[in-house]
Structure 1
Amino acid sequence: MAGSKILVLGATGPTGINVLRELNYRKRATIVYVRNPSKIPEDLKLSPFIEVIKGEMDNLTLLSTAISQSCAIISLLGPTIQNLNIPPTIYADIYRSSVFPLMHEHGVRRILAMSTGSVSRPEDHWSFMVTVLKLVVRIFYNVAYSNVLAIADVFEREAASLDWTVYRIAYIPGGDDEASWQSDRNDGKTFVGWIGAPGWSIQQKRGALARWLVDAAEGGADEWIRKMPAVSRLAGSEKKVN
């Protein structure tokens, strides 16, 4: 039976730390499953709302413990241009062999998984910026490109019984310190839809993305279940009032 906490995977990068700050701000019971807890800021590790479990993604015993306590998963697993010495399907393989089976075992249905504009959907509109970025990534960072496509494919083909949303991002500036998160979470309204559609833009601040992800994990994006929307700052929107 599913638990009541939100599980965060890939939480040691800047966006993941923003997600943890958002969850802590809301006093939301959270589990963080990480390989290197030292990358998590001390104030978050000491929070009574955040439990840190140290483990590798192939340690099914520890990962099972984390997933068994969760009601939803926010995943930021994915390639970075700083680490391209990886197999081309490593993240898809993690979902396929570890995450999906354990979600089924423990009755956890909801998962939000990160992707990028390198993944195309039939509903997308043509965008010059995305076309150029996709070409650059495909040529110079092909391992990252292959991994992103594989993530989308494994969700579409092998997660039909789960309530998944693969959220696609592009440029996500912003820091992960508390002041940056607090400012950026209010940076305009969030667009959720198709690349190139009216209102879509190329960027979203990390803090604002974290705010949307937590909203979505708590039931705020159920209309995007089994879909792959682009998430960005709504073009022309003003800074929110907290």
Structure 2
Amino acid sequence: MSLLRLEGIEAAYGAAQALFGVDLAVEEGEVLALMGRNGMGKSTTIRVICRMMKQSRGSVQFDGRDMARIPSHLAARAGLGLVPEGRRVFARLTVRENLIAAARPGAWDLRKVTGLFPRLAERSGQLAGHFSGGEQQMLAIGRALMTNPRLMLLDEATEGLAPVVRQEIWAALDAVRLDTGLSLLVVDKSLAELGRIADHAVILERGRSVWHGAMADVSGDVANTYLGV
């Protein structure tokens, strides 16, 4: 049984339909890349998974549980950890306060998270709003890990960051994968970096799942056809 399974998901913003049939599955310990050009429904799919948006058709199953009537805060307690697009840290709280705000018991605690991102330990008493974009993204990832999720979803986690910071974040995600076997669903545009950590990929086009397969096969004609690279 898949940890997460979406079947035939349709969703709309008012009268504007955004998803027309999204299917995907994430297995225990798997890293799945959710890919597609801008505006193809990736972030909307993340919102549906995390129950911040309801589907009009289709089903979302997480750990064998139908999530249709589950509110977002209970979805988080069920084991979904979100690193949202645009970071969205609590700017007026300190680094430590951000990390413990939604912490739940488990392997990921302050010691382990700050070991993954030492910069957070060095600046634990500083306000998050004073951080650079890259530091805020590390904090957002650390905050999600502190919820001790079964599945962590990252929506454009490295977009707009300096190359050296991007590499630091990708290395940290690889370490999480290797150390704990945490399942990840990653939205990103970088084929090279996704290729190092993802097992499989699903590609969306105009709100539909149009390709799925091994991450190693996302190249050549597949990339040219669906990703424009």
Structure-1-length-normalised TM-score: 0.36
**TM-score, structure 2 normalization:** 0.37
Normalized per residue, the structure richer in strand is 2
